[in-house]
């Protein structure tokens, strides 16, 4: 007879605490295996943020080195669109594997509410119920006693998938984080934690517009979206911290105006905190303010989207239409507009702009 742990959840996304709890149960209960069961339609939630395939992919990445932790797709790959109920899953598993002994693992938040689960008493008779401690949830001993729960010996877990989606990416396995940012998952809520609401709205608007322009030009819209979401990630960073990053990693630009430091610091943060490794995306972030003679087509999409963001308060629809028709022409027009506006209003122009202007306008390079 095998002793199998069952650990259900949305895993949207899976984080390090999920893996730690599964390994703890494996050891403390002397289990042969813990099966993580991603639900297709969680009865406690109305909507997941990542697709079924994306959630599965993140789980595979997180569990790649854990031989005794496996993924059971009994719920997520079901044909039905009905809500998943644990009683149905358990009955199916017992029917298929009659000789296995099951331990169903859940957090204290769910253990305290277990009496509300569909056919709770029957579940408690079919499997061993196991609960782990979670931060902010006291133990309801009536539930623990009535349903014969076993308590894991663990420090209260404060981690949650919702906390990850709200910006706590330190809770993630690095390879899972790398997957999330490369696929553009959860980015609107992740970056919201790093900036004030006005800048967050601008960021989302720029990412959306950059993606639309890229798609219209038959370019990689995902790259444009990701670069747009991270282009201002360090815009509101503390001056001293920004200065340290500039001094350590971009000393050649430290004499540039502080107002444009964020393009280099945002590249650094995107690469080293959010683990973005796509050079096209990173370059687009780095060049979104000043531009560059080495601008990629994606970089141009982000550059013009930042300048033409409809939330800036003027009608940029005509310029946007040109960018969607031909990003290279739209980018050139944006450079000309900047030059004419700055000259007319006697604003200082950074010397690097003239090199860029000469390259794309005077020489007509693409």
Residue 276 sits in a domain of what CATH number? 1.10.3210.10
The answer to whether position 223 is within a domain reads yes
In a domain, 48, yes or no: yes
**pLDDT digits 0-9 by tens, 123-180:** 999 999 999 999 999 999 999 999 999 999 999 999 999 999 999 999 999 999 999 9
Q: Among 175, 208, 226, identify where a domain stops.
A: 175
Side by side, the strands of the sheet bearing 3-9 are 69-71, 33-38, 3-9, 101-107, 128-132, 150-151
Query: Do 92 and 35 fall within a single domain?
Result: yes
Domain for residue 187, yes or no? no
User: What is the per-residue pLDDT across 221-272, written as a single tens digit (0 to 9) for each?
Assistant: 999 999 999 999 999 999 999 999 999 999 999 999 999 999 999 999 999 9
Q: Are residues 258 and 329 in the same domain?
A: yes
| Cβ-proximal residues to 163 (8 Å cutoff; 6+ apart), any chain | 171
Supply φ then ψ for residue 36, to 5 degrees.
-85, 130
Domains in the chain, number? 2
Predicted confidence (pLDDT) at residue 46 exceeds the cutoff of 80: no
Q: In sequence order, what are the beta bridge partners of 286? A: none
The answer as to whether 306 is a domain residue is yes
Model pTM score? 0.94
Output the domain CATH number for residue 46. Answer: 3.40.50.620
**What pLDDT does residue 79 have?**
75
Same domain for 240 and 167?
A: no
Full DSSP string of 267-325: HHHHHHTS----HHHHHHHHTTTT--TT--HHHHHHHHHHHH-GGGSS--HHHHHHHHH
Task: Please check whether residues 150 and 238 belong to one and the same domain.
Answer: no
**Residue 13 lies inside a defined structural domain of this protein:** yes
Would 355 be classed as within a structural domain? Answer: yes
> Which residue among 118, 142, 175 closes a domain?
175
Residues 200, 160: one domain?
no
Q: What is the pLDDT of residue 47?
A: 55
Q: Looking at the structure, do residues 171 and 198 belong to the same domain, yes or no?
A: no
Q: Considering just the CA atoms, what is the radius of gyration of the chain in Å?
A: 26
Within a domain: residue 186?
no
Residue 148 contacts residue 131 (beta carbons within 8 Å): no
- Judge whether 120 lies within some domain: yes
Residue 44: pLDDT over 70? no
**Residue that terminates a domain, selected from 124, 146, 175:** 175
- Please indicate, yes or no, whether residues 163 and 241 belong to a single structural domain of this protein: no
In a shared domain, residues 161 and 202: no
Rounded Cα distance, 23 and 26, in Å: 5
Element (H, E) at 151: strand 150-151
Q: Is the pLDDT of residue 333 over 90?
A: yes
Residue range of the domain that includes 219: 194-362
* Nearby residues of 29 by Cβ (< 8 Å), 6 or more positions away: 3, 5, 103, 130, 150
């Amino acid at each position: 007879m095998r002793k199998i742990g069952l650990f259900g959840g949305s895993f949207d996304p899976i984080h390090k605490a999920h893996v730690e709890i599964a390994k703890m149960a494996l050891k403390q209960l002397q289990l042969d295996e813990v099966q993580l069961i991603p639900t297709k339609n969680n009865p406690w939630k109305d909507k997941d943020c990542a697709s079924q395939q994306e959630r599965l992919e993140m789980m595979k990445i997180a569990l790649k080195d854990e031989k005794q932790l496996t993924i059971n797709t009994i719920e997520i790959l079901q044909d039905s669109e009905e809500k998943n109920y644990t009683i149905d899953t358990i009955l199916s598993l017992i029917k298929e594997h009659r000789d296995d002994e099951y331990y169903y693992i859940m957090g204290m938040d769910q253990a305290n509410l277990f009496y509300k689960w569909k056919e709770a008493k029957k579940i408690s008779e079919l499997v061993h119920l196991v609960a782990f401690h979670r931060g902010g949830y006291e133990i309801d001993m009536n539930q623990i006693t009535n349903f014969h729960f076993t308590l894991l010996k663990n420090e209260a877990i404060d981690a949650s998938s919702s906390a990850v989606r709200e910006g706590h990416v330190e809770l993630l396995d690095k390879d899972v984080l790398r997957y999330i940012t490369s696929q553009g998952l959860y980015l609107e809520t992740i970056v919201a934690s790093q900036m004030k609401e006005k800048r967050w709205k601008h960021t989302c608007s720029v990412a959306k517009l950059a993606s639309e322009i890229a798609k219209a030009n038959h370019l990689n819209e995902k790259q444009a979206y990701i670069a747009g979401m991270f282009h201002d990630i360090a815009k509101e960073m503390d001056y001293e911290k920004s200065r340290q990053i500039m001094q350590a990693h971009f000393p050649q630009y430290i004499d540039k105006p502080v107002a444009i430091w964020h393009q280099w610091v945002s590249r650094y943060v995107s690469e080293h905190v959010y683990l973005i490794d796509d050079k096209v995306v990173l370059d687009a972030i780095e060049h979104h303010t000043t531009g560059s003679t080495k601008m990629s087509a994606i970089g141009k999409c982000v550059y013009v989207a930042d300048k033409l963001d409809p939330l800036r308060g003027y009608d940029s629809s005509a310029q946007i239409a040109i960018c969607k028709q031909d990003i290279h022409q739209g980018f050139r027009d944006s450079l000309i507009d900047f030059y004419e506006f700055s000259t007319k209003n006697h604003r200082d122009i950074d010397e690097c702009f003239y090199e860029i202007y000469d390259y794309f306008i005077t020489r007509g390079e693409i």
